[in-house]
Amino acid sequence: MSSPNPDTRQRILQATADLLSEGGGTGVRMSDIAKRAGISRQAVYLHFANRADLLIATTFYVDELKDTAARLAPSRAAETGRERLDAFVEAWAGYLPEIYPIGRALIDMSPTDEEARSAWAQRMQDMREGCEAAISALKRDGDLAPGLPASQATDLLWTLLLLPNWEHLTRTCGWSQKQYLKHITATARRLFVIDA
1 located within any domain: no
Domain count, the chain: 2
How many whole angstroms from its chain centre is CA 146? 29
Confidence of residue 115 (pLDDT cuts 50, 70, 90): confident
**Residue 97 shares a structural domain with residue 170:** yes
Q: For 30-73, what is each residue's pLDDT tens digit?
A: 999 999 999 999 999 999 988 888 888 988 899 899 899 999 99
The pTM of this model reads: 0.84
Owning domain of residue 91: 65-191
Q: Beta partners for 144?
A: 193
89 located within any domain: yes
The length of the chain in residues reads 196
How many whole angstroms from its chain centre is CA 96? 7
For the cut 80, the answer to whether the pLDDT of residue 3 exceeds it is no
Q: CATH code at 17?
A: 1.10.10
**Residue 99 shares a structural domain with residue 135:** yes
Handedness of CA 72, 73, 77, 80 (dihedral sign): negative
Q: For 72-84, what is each residue's pLDDT tens digit?
A: 999 999 999 999 9
Q: What is the pLDDT of residue 151?
A: 97
